[in-house]
């Protein structure tokens, strides 16, 4: 069994894989496996991977394009390690991070210190700035709901999980939806287990322009959004989030033409307040749509005026 499984789901990102390979080569004397799940790439992903020197075990699997959740689930099935981390195409692990993380792990119990199943650290940008907020404490035991969501600690973080826990918590998948917010996994784990939080930088984020973070995946993946907001509309989420998420659950359930919205709601007690939140959300989206239409109309008018001016100029000339 390896110390680490580094799982990289990828789709047409061949040119970024060398960057990940180089960062893994900078981890020192660590026993790791790099699991690359090729989600139907049409570029030279396979050729790039075959050219890597085997300084550690590299497992490659190809599948028809089915989306990141399916690719992650396949990667986890292939994993044979104590600790796993999902490393996307726009991520790298900072040098010697795996050595640092291993110091928090107890191999006898198969968990991190204080019987935690996850170790969470910080991410930085390429210029060294921290992504989002640092943690209120330099060393703290809690969980994703009570510590991250309820305290509104924004920004991507770097999470190392006990592999077996992730195997027991697969990503939900939906037909015709190729992604889901990773928060659903963090939330489900938080219902049962604890996480150790440390103010140490473990990873660097690049945030590619065509990446998921650049898109509104709630609207793009409404079934996934419905599931996420329904599961996060109940305790131990703080009351304000329960009401807000109840409204968002109703919004996406209606978008998905669900009939038994109340019956399937996780928090029926707050459902009436959720309806108020839903109405406000509808107004917000309507205003955004009006604003978008107005901006589009202004752009069209501007182009028409420009063309008229150019036409009259040509006539005069």
Q: What pLDDT score does 181 carry? A: 83
Residue 311 corresponds to which tokens in the numbers above? 């036409």
Q: What pLDDT score does 192 carry? A: 97
Peptide bond into 154 cis (omega under 30): no
Cα separation, 23 vs 20, in Å, equals 5
Q: What pLDDT score does 285 carry? A: 78
Q: What pLDDT score does 182 carry? A: 84
Query: pTM to 2 decimals?
Result: 0.88
Q: What pLDDT score does 114 carry? A: 97
Residue 172 corresponds to which tokens in the numbers above? 């939900």
> Within the chain, which residues score under 70 in pLDDT?
207-216, 289-317
CA distance to 48, 61, 73, 177, 276, per residue, from 181 (Å): 29, 23, 14, 12, 25
Q: What pLDDT score does 214 carry? A: 42
């Amino acid at each position: 069994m390896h110390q680490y499984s580094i799982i990289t789901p990828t789709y047409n990102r061949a040119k970024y894989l060398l960057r990940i390979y180089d960062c893994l080569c900078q981890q020192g004397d660590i026993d790791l496996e790099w699991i690359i799940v090729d989600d139907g790439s049409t570029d030279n992903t396979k050729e790039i991977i075959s050219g890597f020197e085997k300084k550690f075990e590299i497992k490659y699997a190809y599948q028809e394009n089915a989306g990141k959740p399916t690719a992650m689930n396949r990667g986890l099935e292939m994993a044979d390690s104590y600790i796993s981390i999902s490393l996307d195409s726009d991520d790298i692990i900072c040098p010697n991070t795996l050595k640092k993380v291993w110091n928090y792990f107890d191999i006898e119990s198969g968990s991190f210190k204080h019987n935690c199943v996850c170790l969470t650290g910080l991410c930085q940008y390429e210029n060294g700035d921290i992504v989002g907020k640092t943690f209120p404490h330099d060393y703290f035991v809690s969980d994703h709901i009570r510590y991250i969501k309820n305290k509104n600690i924004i920004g991507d973080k770097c999470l190392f999980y006990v592999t077996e826990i992730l195997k027991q918590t697969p990503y939900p998948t939906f037909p015709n939806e190729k992604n889901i917010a990773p928060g659903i996994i963090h939330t489900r784990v938080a219902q049962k287990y604890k996480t150790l939080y440390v103010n140490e930088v473990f990873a660097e984020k690049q945030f590619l322009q065509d990446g998921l973070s650049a898109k509104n995946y709630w609207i793009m993946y409404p079934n996934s959004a419905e599931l996420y907001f329904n599961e996060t509309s109940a305790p131990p989420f703080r009351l304000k989030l329960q009401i807000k998420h109840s409204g968002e659950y109703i919004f996406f359930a209606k978008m998905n033409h669900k009939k038994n919205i109340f019956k399937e709601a996780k928090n029926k007690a707050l459902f009436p307040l959720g309806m108020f939140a839903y109405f406000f959300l509808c107004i917000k989206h309507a205003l955004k749509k009006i604003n978008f239409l107005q901006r589009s109309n202004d752009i069209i008018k501007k182009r028409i005026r420009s063309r008229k001016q150019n036409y009259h100029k040509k006539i005069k000339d």
